[in-house]
Copies of this chain bind each other. A is one copy, B any other.
Amino acid sequence: MPAMTMIEAIRDAHTVAMERDDRVIVFGEDVGYFGGVFRCTHGLQERFGEHRCFDAPINESGIVGAAVGMAAYGLRPCVEIQFADYMYPAYDQIVSEAARLRHRSAGDFSAPLVVRMPTGGGIYGGQTHSQSPEALFTHVAGLTTVVVSNPYDAKGLLIASIEDDDPVMFLEPKRVYNGPFDGHHDRPIVPWSQHPLGEVPEGHYSIELGTARVHRAGDELTVLTYGTLVHVAQAAAEEQDLDAEIIDLRTLVPLDIDTIVDSVRKTGRCLVLHEATLTSGFGAELSAQVQERCFYHLESPIIRVAGWDTPYPHAHEWSYFPGPDRVGRAMRKAVTA
C-alpha cells in the first residue's frame, strides 16, 4: 500500500470521486490552476479540465451559495474554504440554506455538497489561520460534521462525504497534513510515511459517516477526541504510562454514541479533548451526553481540556494549544480523582 501524506490522500479522494462520478466538481479560491494553498487539489484541473476544477472569486458566500444551486441542479460540488477561519461569510448559506434545504422543501430539493476547510493551529497562523469551528456546525440540524486525523481516514471519509446525499462539513486539521503531530512542537516532524495510518489503499473505499475509531484500546480511562488531539492524546498516554482508550470520533454529528458509551462504562473515567475554545465547544456536548448516559458508571468527573477562551494567539500559540503536558496532567487527574 502506498504511503501518503494527508494532503495526498485528500487529493486522491478527489480523484477517485471525480473519476467515478462526473457530477463531482471542485472549486474554491486558488484551488484550480494552483491546486490550493495547501495543494490539496493539485493536479485536478490538469487531469479533469477547467470545467471540473476551477478557481473562484474571493467570496465564500458565493462559493457555498453557488454550490447550493449546483447541488440543487443535481451536481455534487466539493468546495474548499481556504482556511476555516474564513467560513464565516459563508455561514448563512451553510446554516440557513444547505443545512435546511431538504427539510424545508420536504425533500423536493436537497444539497449534497461538501465544504472542506483546513482547521486548527500549530503553524503560528494567529487568530485567523488557526480556528476549529466544529461546534458552530454541530449545533445546526442538517449538517454532518467530520474532522479527520490521518491519511487513511481522510481519504475514506472524504469519498463518503462526497457520496453522501446531504451537506457535509469536512474539517482538516492542517497541523496533521504532513505527519501525526503529537504536540511536541520542539521535536522533529514525523512524516506519515512512518505511521501505519499513512498507508492508504489505492482506488475507491469509503468509511461510513457516523462511525468512530478506537485509536488505542485501554481500560483505565476513556479519551474522546478528534483531529490533531488524537495524536496528542496518544503521546500523553504513553508519557503518563496510562492504559487509556483513545477514541477518534471522526464524525461529530451524527455521533457514534455506542462506541463512546461502551468505553466509558468500561473505564469509568472520561477525558474530552479539543483544540477549539472551551466554552460551548463540542466537548461540552460530549461531556453532557456521557454524563446523561453513563452517570452511574462514572468514577470521577469528566474533564475537558481545550483551547482557552481567547482568540488563538500568535506568539503564545504553544501556551494555547492543549499539548501533551496539559493533557497528561488531566489524564492523571482523571484516574486519581
Chain A contact residues, CB within 8 Å of chain B: 85, 88-89, 91-92, 95-96, 100, 103-104, 127-128, 135-136, 138-142, 253, 276-277, 279-285, 287-288, 291-292, 295, 298, 300-304, 308-311
Contacts and interface: CB of A to CB of B under 8 A. Distances in A.
Given A104-B127, A288-B287, A301-B295, A277 B141 contact: yes
A139 B128 contact: no
B288 A292 contact: no
Contact of A141 (B138, B300, B311): B311
B280 A285 contact: yes
Given A88-B95, A141-B277, 18 more contacts: A88-B91, A103-B127, A104-B127, A104-B311, A135-B139, A139-B276, A139-B280, A141-B308, A142-B311, A279-B285, A280-B280, A280-B284, A284-B287, A288-B288, A291-B301, A295-B298, A295-B300, A295-B301
Given A139-B279, A280-B139, A100 B291 contact: no
A103 B298 CA distance: 39
A325 B316 CA distance: 50
User: Which of A127, A284, A310 is packed against the most chain B CB atoms within 10 Å?
Assistant: A284
Contact of A280 (B85, B95, B100, B135): B135
A285 B127 CA distance: 23
Contacts of A279: 138-139, 141, 253, 285
A107 B161 CA distance: 43
Contacts of A100: 127, 311
10 contacts: A85-B96, A88-B92, A104-B127, A139-B277, A140-B277, A141-B308, A279-B285, A284-B288, A287-B287, A295-B301
